[in-house]
Structure 1
Amino acid sequence: MANWIVLVVVSVGVFAEKSLAQDIDEYKSGLPPWSKGYMDIHHIHTGGGDATFFIFPDGTTMLFDAGDMDQKAFDKKWGPLKATPLYPTDSLTAGQWIIHYINQMMLEPREATIDYALISHFHSDHYGYVKDDAKKSENGNYRLTGITEIAEHIPIHTLIDRNAPTYDYPLDLKTYYTKHQDSTFLNYLDFVDHRLKNNQTVEGLKAGANDQIQLKFSPDQYPSFVVRNVKANGTIWTGQRTNTFQYLHQDSLMSDQGKFNENPLSLALKISYGAFDYFTGGDMTGLKGYGLPAWFDVETPVAKVVGQVEATTLNHHGNRDATNQDFVKLLDPEVVVQQSWCSDHPGQEVFHRLAAKRPDGKTRDIYATNIHEETKVALGPWFTKAYKSMKGHVLIRVSPGGQKYSVYTLDNKKSSIRVVNKFGPYISSMRRE
């Protein structure tokens, strides 16, 4: 490991002998560590974009996205909108803070390892941005940012993105991004080439599959655990076996200017463990009308096959072009995690839908990694009162078998993990595919 990574010793008792129901005061300085049978879903907030780290019931690990955006470029292009600064400080990059976080979550005797790393789509707040001063890799001919920086320090066994190994959807991406001078994507291709030359696995997500992402250590002990690949590019699971259908067609995705939008092409997963179901879909879009083509709404066909879940992330950080009425109604989550970094997150219409009563008359519990003060002023006190938490890492911890789960909010203003609050336990509802 590089010498700038400082491992923090979390002072806790032996979790195997303790209950999650114990008073949270016992863990004010740290988090009870993961133990076998539990599933952890860590929504990491660095200010650089999305990053979600999973520890599956048998210890298999997965990272979904590793954002490290260029805040200066954002401010210049999109001001007066505000981007979130790096957390806890700008002394490290977002990628380095993700590494630091993962190192704290890994338990001996296993060293920090990412069994699966997924990149939902090719935007900087999901996989990195090559800045002028980005360091060069010591292992290959590419620079370090986001996912490439994490791979420099934590082994990634299988890298999965939306279009490997061909990178030809909706057109030749190398040619396209060379034309548009996207050095980050070209750097990512150099990283992929390095992995392939060294016999390291790189795959495209196979829509419909439920065996591409598997438990690696003791799958037979957890037969109710499954990762279903719901969507990749324009291909969506039908909800039956591993069958898929083509929703987005290449010839219709290109604008008159020869450009296309990455967001509707995002990967989507449904992760199930017993009665617990969780959905994540990158920057999927769902806005209808307003002169938009019909295919811009990828949320509705996805929501129809996903069905009800216990918890979901907000597509596209809660922007107004996503989390449409069908998505909220059909998934009907009890817990919502908003991975937000901009002052226009969430869109007001999105919040109205989330704040509405559920069919059973109950309200949803909404947790955000960061809500700007300007957003609170613009949307008012009724908005702030509806959130369980508006700042910090958000951990969903699912109990063995998936019958119940809890939500921890964690302080992101310090380098060591500290529990701010605990919510739950929530009770999962038995709903199978």
Structure 2
Amino acid sequence: MDDRLHLVMVEPNGSGGLIHYAYQLCTALAEEGVDVTLVTGREYELADLPHNFTVNNVLDLWPLFEAGRSEEIRLGRWRRLWRKVFRTLRRGVRAVRLIRAWLLLVRYLLRLHPDVVLFSKINFPFEAFFLAYLRRRGLFLSQICHEFELRESRWGALESLVARLYASVYPNFSALFFHAKENRQRFLALYPRISPERMFLIPHGNSEWLLRLPMSVTPDELRERYGLSVDDRVVLFFGLLAPSKGLEDLLDAFALARRDCDAKLVIAGYPTKHMDMVALQERIDTLGLRKDVILDTRYIPLDEVGALMGLASVVVYPYRSGTQSGALQVAYIFGRPVVVTRVGGLPEAVEDGKSGFLVPPRSPEALADRIVTLVNDPALAKRMGDYARHLAETRFSWQTVARKILDVYDSLLSRAR
């Protein structure tokens, strides 16, 4: 008889940062002796990587990253308007597909009846109905609280109502995991009826797995593609492009920094539906930065991430709001110093003056000052980058994350017996 803990992790998105997180966590939990199954979408982008756990990619949803999205900046006004209308109509179809996926998931979990179910981000308040049903049927539910606020979506007059509806989601979880004390405190302020005894802190794991991927392009080849010279120093933003990421502040800061340092700015990442790329390009032009800013708005292939990090003198995360950042862990594991704003749980991941610099949000002057410091002092940037790599390999190791999660499960499940 197999007496191992049987855990099912549910991550509907088959591509992007959350499935990367799920893959690494499932790997670490399996290394600790857990019988792990990952349930995800049909378009599972990591299928070719080694797995020490079971993958069931049965959720028939939709691609998170659309091929044409990054090209919209080049479209005319009417074609952009038509695409907006099309996406609005498409939401109804996707709602039906999501409900079907939940019905399949519920049947699967009740048939399997694992010891623990671990969910990722819950995107819609109506999903509370399915969670409540699973809980009533005796399943132990838990969640990694990557995000719990309406950070990008704008519901207008309905926003407070939608926020209240989300309050029905979280009572269904016996354990809620947060990546920072600040995030837990913010959650408590939003949902005071949830007992703090259900809330647990874990580190955000590193991105060590990226080091094992073969690179399809070298940093020098990427320089040539971007039109950079061998001597150009690079300030890098890497990650999804969204209003909360503070890209306008970064552009303003870079315009100031260019007075005191010689560098190029590379903004690399896929624009979310909330990001106005036309306005961003107009801001670049208004600041006179067209020749100094490179926009790579693809979903960056995994085998190009190493080369992209290899270009960077400093990686900047100028967020206006947020909880944590998986992209920050990418910079750390590749040994790059960071400049990060003091929002959400980010200050708890950065040792100011050691792995990078912390600055106030919405402060282009402070951001520019720290960018200049690192661009003009390669020796300091190297020391900070080395320490960032050290943090990734120690404090943010997945073994540490897995053991903390298992300690929580051991305690809660033993109480329930």
Name the larger-Rg structure: 2
TM-score by length of 2: 0.28
Give TM-score, length-normalised by structure 1. Answer: 0.28
Higher helix residue share: 2
Select the structure that is richer in strand.
1
